[in-house]
Amino acid sequence: MNEGIAGRIAKQFINSKITPLLMLAAMLVGIIATLMTPREEEPQIVVPMVDIYIPYPGAVPSEVEDRVAKPFERSLTEIPGVDYVYSTAMPDFAMVTVRFKVGEETESSMVKLWATLLKNMDKMPPGVQMPLMKKVAIDDVPVLNLTFWSKERDPFQLRNTARDVADELKKVQNIGDVEIKGGLHRQVRVQLRKEKLQEYNVSALQIARQIQMANSQMTSGNFSRENSEIIVKSGSFLENADDVSNIVVGVYGGLPVYVRDVATIVDGPEEVRNYSFFGWGAASHAKDRGEYPAVTLTVAKRKGADASVLAEKVIDQVDHLKGSLIPADITVTETRNYGETATEKVFTLLEHLFIAIVAVTIVVGFFLGWRGALVNFVSVPITFALTLLVYYLFNYSLNRVTLFALIFVTGIVVDDSIIIAENIHRHFSMKRQPRLQAAITAVSEVGNPTILATFTVIAAVLPMVFVSGLMGPYMSPMPIGASLAMIFSLLIALIVTPWLSYRLLKVEHGGHDEYDITKTGYYRLFRKVLSPLLDNAFMRFVAFAVVGLMLAGAIIMVPMKAVQMKMLPFDNKNEFQVILDMPEGSSLEETSRVAKEISGYLRTVPEVSSYQYYAGTSAPINFNGLVRHYYLRQAPHMADIQVNLVPKGERKAQSHDIAKKVRAEVQKIAMKYDGNAKIVEIPPGPPVLSTIVAEIYGPSQEQQIALAKEVQKIFRETPGVVDVDWLVEDDQKVVDLVVQKERAAMRGVSAEQIAQTLRMSLGGMDVGVLHAGNENDPVTIQLRLPQAQRSTLKDLDGIFVQSQGMGSLTTRLRAGEMVPLSELVKIEEKIQPKSIYRKDLRRVVYVTADVAGVTESPVYAMLEMDKKIKQLKLPGGYSVDPLYTAPPANEQKPAMKWDGEWQITFEVFRDLGTAFAVVLVIIYLLIVGWFQSFRTPLIMMISIPLSLVGIIPGHFIHGAFFTATSMIGMIALAGIMVRNSVLLIDFIQIRRDEGIELKQAIIESAAVRTRPIILTSGAVVIGSVIMLFDPIFQGLAISMIWGGVLSTVLTLVVVPLVYYIAEKKTT
Amino acid sequence: MRVTGKIITMLLLVLSALFGACSDKGRLPKANMEQETAVAEVSIVTVEKRTDPAGTTEFVIPEAAVFRRGALTGVYVVGGDGRAVVRWINPGRSANGELVVLGGLDAGEQVAGSASVGLVDGAPVKAQVSETNERESHE
């Protein structure tokens, strides 16, 4: 018999001394690689995203849009590799977000972007300041949050402590950004006293100028004398509050006027800008209902670093600082530790891997005895060890996606070894040849089809690499990891398995009879089942009809909504956030009060271990917040609540169910105060602006908002659609102090003076920093009216500006004359112009929502709302036909496009569908190449659609969604099923070549091949069972299990029958 | 006789110690509970809405109701459930023992009249009828 590659390899290694050494070496490097590969929760996703802030002080949004946002956008879209350009034109500045195509290199993208920006700076109108460019990367997401809270201390002291700790922590290796959220900075506040200013004839601007001038020091030069140089310095910096208070700002009645005469100087916390509090939840069993001022220290990691190692080091360091830097009355609580969760996730997955291997081994044991099982038990870990080594060498981290790839292939990688071991076992039982020879013959016999089969499975999974868009980086480790594992498993099946089988496998029954296929149970079974079908054309027809009906029945379940499609189900996480938006113009205290009330409810939820709310400042971001720009949520009307749940093991409910449960109550509280609260969970896949996004385009902002209102109404009316919101600010009242130019000119006051004086009095102005040696943060000196004196318009009465006198050429007044501000301005009340959002050069208004409850899948909610939106009658007789894949061609009339998760779902299923088509073609080509027939491959591929008979009802039985992972399972299953057919038909042909009649050959081959086919499919099924319990991988498991079982059974019957019909005519 | 007496005394001692330990254990979680802090009696005042001659309206509370924690200013709001809850406010100008609240409180809300009596966030309180309760508002 021709040995082929497989046989030759087996011959080389079956008695070689090197084989066991190779096994040992592979195991060792695998273990070392597993320990050394960095562990993290999320996959390393490189989506170069850059935020550009372009300040244009004083401009209204429409001006910012026209002068700044538009020209920049236009030039940015010219850059190759740019995927999307978003912009927001707000009062006083524009924010442009550029998203490069996934996989574009970050550094070169940044350089291109910067060059383009600078090239266009000359086209900017005067007043536009230098842009600030910030790269947004996955490594900006803190991996560790430490909350400093105290029953006695205030936010100012807490921040001081946290800042000192942060300074120490920066020394830890591999640490990234360390930030402090919440708390108050130290500031020297110069609180102007209006009545004194008037009394001493001093203006606010004058004080600012004097402080700035006093705060300078410079090196003047040097004297050279007697061969040495002496450096000359002059001036002095302000070092403390006393220095500030002793500055002379003017002269009154021949005496100097000091800052302290006209202002109160306070060195201490700045004015309250945020409220951040920590409290225990019901699950913590702490009985105190209090909540404590808190600041959060967030620790990010450097790219490629191991999150768990870093977290451990940091926590260790913090423990050392307790007692010294951290006083005893400040408690440090870990409120996020992605290092720990990553390790936990990795070890759970590794445990799952192990369980899967054991389960598969047991299955093999049933068929081949414990010795056969041992062969597999040894070969599978070696496969994984090698794959993990490659992960390490390719700089992959161990995260949920890379490990998922391993679990996914557990059932598949054992197959090669099973087929080889099974065949060796069979040949040993036949006893036609001496053992060594029998083993080599056995490998030769199935070796080549095994190689082919392995490549069909690789061909099936590999096209998934081509999934584009944000989902690409999530998917790509899967086909790569799976393909690598498959190749290793093939090598091991050819090198290690024969070696092990030769030594381990024994034939239990010791009879000397020749092995006879016709005596086995399988043969009798298949004779019984197949013979009537082979003989009787009508019976055959009935069989096909039954299978056809089953298939049709399964497929019809999809349009019947018995099985729903969803991108990815939610994972079971230990946290979620509540995002609270009060109406624009709400005071910080009001926002914090609502946040507190919501927190007060959340703490009573039995699974909540702790919470922290941040009003006026953003909570530490997670992956989601990164894409949604939650780190910009720093306005007084915004609050974030971070809710931490007890670890997965200690609760029954999944985090998604808890989030669903609390939503109603949280929103009820928010509604009471006209606020909008959203429950935000960590998405299992790539984050998007919101699950459902309606992008509304139109010729004018008014029309867009009008349509958005209607769409929003439809959103709210649709059951299952929750967290409805839009990115349109509420009307916020603005008091516009219009400078009366003529009057101002007559008094020798410039508009700029007025603007600056007002800015200083109300908003405060930083006039410099203290140059104190031992402060880590800069201590600013701020000039402002005290809070109590700037709460009403009436308070403007006492503010004065100084006339510039004759110098201004417009007045006869004496220079320095005090002019009350109220004489120079007219008060007008206005509505703050709304921010303008743009996406890819079009104005857009976003309406966002989430789905939960009745429909969990956005697609169905969208289809339902689609109907209602189409019926909308707009002023002007327009109607709207929502678009799905591309924005409208023009903005002549109002239009709408669905975006959000849909966009990614669409891209993924489109790409996976294409991948599947490519897979089919490649498989076809491979088999054509092997069997040299155009028809045979088609027969084999019949088993692919048969898997649907199992997959779809399987999802129905489990009440699960058909997700992207289900689709992956289906694609992989196509490879496995074709392989089974290959093995089956290959054997029929071998038998027929040996001169056996067609029907007999078919029955015999079915009988002989049943064991390995059931074994391999059984391995796939059993190996997948463990995944059923994971919310994300459930779909994959269902596909593999149900699809595997039904497809295997049907394959064993249908494929031989079709083959018979096809071959009957040729013979 | 004396020996038996000793034994009995010892037994009693041991028993009481045991009981003590047991009841201690039983009480331990309770000790942290809010029930432990006796229901505090506080005077209740209502946040007033006041209109000044110029026509601007503002919210006013007595200064005694306010406590400070560093830069934070807070009051205890007594809700419908009879619990005093800390509310952070934005203080404005103060005069004659009264404080203008710029943010954080609504007119008509009930506030503990004195913040200095050792109230705890979230602890139940009992209203103490007092004259401050019925303070008339200046129109």
Residue B90: which of A286, A287, A589 has the nearest Cβ?
A589
| Region of poorest pLDDT, from A181-190, A563-572, A616-625, B12-21 | B12-21
Q: Which of A396, A403, A400, A412 is nearest to A461 (CA)?
A: A412
Instruction: Please tell me the distance from the alpha carbon of residue A595 to that of residue A675, in angstroms, as a whole number.
Output: 10
Count of positions (residues) in chain A: 1067
Quick one: pLDDT band at residue A65, thresholds 50, 70, 90?
Answer: very high
Sequence length of chain B is 139
Token digits for A6? Answer: 């497989």
A366-406 pLDDT per residue, tens:
877 887 888 888 888 888 888 888 888 888 888 877 877 77
What pLDDT, on a 0 to 100 scale, did the predictor assign at position A124? 87
Contacts of B47 in chain A (CB under 8 A): none
> How many Å is the maximal CA-CA distance in chain B?
94
Q: Is A380 exposed, middle or buried (0-12, 13-18, 19+ CB in 10 A)?
A: buried
Instruction: Measure in Å the smallest separation between the Cα of A47 and chain B Cα atoms.
Output: 41
> Is residue A942 a contact partner of residue A1058, using CB atoms and an 8 Å limit?
yes
The 8-class DSSP code of residue A124 comes to: S
* pLDDT tens, residue by residue, A492-526: 888 888 888 888 877 655 444 445 666 677 788 88
Which whole number is the average pLDDT over A617-643?
A: 89
Question: What average pLDDT values come out for chain B (139 residues) when binned by 10 residues?
Answer: 54 49 40 51 84 79 88 87 86 86 87 78 72 43
A291 interfacial to chain B (CB closer than 8 Å): yes
Cα dihedral A737, A92, A890, A729, rounded to 10, equals -70
Kindly identify which residue of chain B lies nearest to residue A152, measuring between CA atoms.
Answer: B69
| DSSP letters spanning A856-910 | --HHHHHHHHHHHHHT---TTS-----BSSS--S-SSS-EEEEEEHHHHHHHHHH
Cross-chain residue pair B72–A154, CB shorter than 8 Å: yes
pLDDT of residue A831: 85
What is the rounded distance in angstroms from the CA atom of residue A244 to the CA atom of residue A261? 12
Q: Which residue of B has its CA nearest to A274?
A: B72
Phi-psi region of B118 (alpha: psi -120 to 50; beta: other; left: phi over 0): left
DSSP string, A1004-1018: HHHHHHHHHHHHHHH
Contact status, residue A857 vs residue A116, Cβ threshold 8 Å: no
- CB B45, CB B135: distance < 8 Å: yes
The reply to whether residue A290 touches residue B32, judged by beta carbons under 8 angstroms, is no
Q: How far apart are CA A490 and CA A6, in angstroms?
A: 10
Residue A592 sits at the chain B interface (C-beta within 8 Å): yes
H helix or E strand, kind and range, residue A416: helix A400-430
Q: Per the CB < 8 Å rule, is B54 touching A588? A: no
**Residue A553 to residue A558: CA distance in whole angstroms:** 10
Q: What is the pLDDT of residue A588?
A: 92
Supply angle C-alpha A174, A180, A185, rounded to 5.
140
Q: Using CA atoms of A367, A372, A375, A376 in order, give the dihedral in degrees to the nearest 10.
A: 0
Q: A449, A982 in Cβ contact below 8 A? A: yes
What average pLDDT does this structure show over A239-255?
88
Distance of alpha carbon A73 from alpha carbon A70, whole angstroms: 5
Asked if B90 lies within 8 A of A269 by C-beta distance, the reply is no
Around Cβ A794, how many Cβ atoms within 10 Å?
13
Exposed e or buried b for every residue in A572-584, given b needs 16+ CB within 10 A?
Answer: bbbbbbbbbbbbb
A822 in Cβ contact with A801 (< 8 Å): no
**Rg (alpha carbons) of chain A, rounded to whole number:** 36
A789 touches chain B (CB under 8 A): yes
Task: From chain B, pick out residues whose CB is under 8 angstroms from the CB of A793.
Answer: 56
Q: How large is the average pLDDT for residues A540-550? A: 89
pLDDT at A1018: 84
Nearest to A338 by CA among A320, A316, A314: A314
SS (H, E, C) A477-489: HHHHHHHHHHHHH
d(CA A239, CA A214): 11
pLDDT at A728 over 80: yes
Per the confidence metrics, is the pTM higher than 0.95?
Answer: no
Give the CA distances from residue A750 to residues A152, A797, A824, B27, in Å, rounded to whole numbers and listed in that order: 49, 18, 10, 73
Q: Token pair for residue A564?
A: 């729903």
User: Hey, is the C-beta of B51 within 8 angstroms of any chain A C-beta?
Assistant: no
Higher pLDDT, A2 or B70: B70
For residue A330, the cross-strand partners are A150
- Interface check for A17 against chain B (CB to CB < 8 A): the answer is no
Cβ-Cβ contacts under 8 Å, B104 against chain A: 587, 589-590, 592-593
Amino acid A509: pLDDT: 55
Task: Name A525's Cβ contacts closer than 8 Å, sequence gap at least 6.
Answer: A1007
CA distance A356 to A485: 15
Compute φ and ψ for A101, nearest 5 degrees: -60, 145
pLDDT classification of A1067: cutoffs 50, 70, 90: low
Identify the pLDDT of residue A637: 92
Would you call A661 exposed, middle or buried from its count of C-beta atoms within 10 A (0-12, 13-18, 19+)? middle
**Concatenated DSSP letters of A698-732:** -SSHHHHHHHHHHHHHHHHHSTTEEEEEES-PPP-
Query: B28 at the A interface (CB within 8 A)?
Result: no
Question: DSSP letter at A834?
Answer: P
* A1047 within 8 A of A949, measured Cβ to Cβ: yes
**Is residue A595 packed enough to be buried (19+ CB in 10 Å), middle (13-18) or exposed (0-12)?**
buried
- Whether A157 has its CB under 8 Å from any CB of chain B: the answer is yes
In the predicted model, is pLDDT for residue A686 greater than 60?
Answer: yes
Q: Is B39 within 8 Å of B112 (Cβ atoms)?
A: no
In chain A, pLDDT over 70 holds for what percent of residues? Answer: 98
**The pLDDT of residue B121:** 79
Give Rg (Cα) of chain B. Answer: 24
Alpha helices in A201-337 (DSSP H): 204-214, 241-245, 259-262, 307-321
B107 touches chain A (CB under 8 A): no
Helix (H), strand (E) at residue A448:
helix A435-461
pLDDT at A233: 84
B91/A791 Cβ within 8 A: no
pLDDT, one tens digit per residue, over A121-131 is 888 888 899 89
pLDDT tens-digit series, residues A395-408? 888 887 787 777 77
Distance CA A728, CA A811 (A): 46
Amino acid residing at A926: L
Q: Which residues are CB-neighbours of A828 under 8 A, at least 6 positions away? A: A735, A736, A737, A738
CA distance to partner chain B, nearest, from residue A693 (Å): 34
Arithmetic mean of pLDDT, A769-782: 81
Q: Answer positive or negative: Cα dihedral of A480, A483, A486, A490.
A: negative
- Backbone φ and ψ of A1061, nearest 5°: -60, -45
Q: Is A900 left (phi over 0), alpha (psi -120 to 50) or beta?
A: left
Question: Are residues B86 and A269, on separate chains, in Cβ contact within 8 Å?
Answer: no
DSSP state of A514: P
Q: Express each pLDDT in A167-208 by its tens digit.
A: 889 888 889 889 999 989 888 999 888 888 888 888 888 888
The reported pLDDT for the residue numbered A669 is: 94
pLDDT digits (tens, 9 = 90+) for A899-953: 988 888 888 888 888 888 888 888 888 888 888 888 888 888 888 888 888 899 9
* Averaged pLDDT score across all residues of chain A: 85
Helix A901-931 crosses helix A858-870 at what angle (to 10 degrees)?
A: 120
Alpha helices in A86-203 (DSSP H): 106-120, 155-169, 194-200
Q: Could you write out the DSSP letters of every residue in A344-357?
A: HHHHHHHHHHHHHH
Mean pLDDT of A73-96: 90
Q: B128: which strand partners?
A: B43
Bridge partners, residue A399, by sequence: none
- Selected for mutation to probe chain B from A289, A602, A614 (highest B CB count within 10 Å) is A289
Of the CA atoms within 13 Å of residue B6, those in its CB half-sphere come to 3
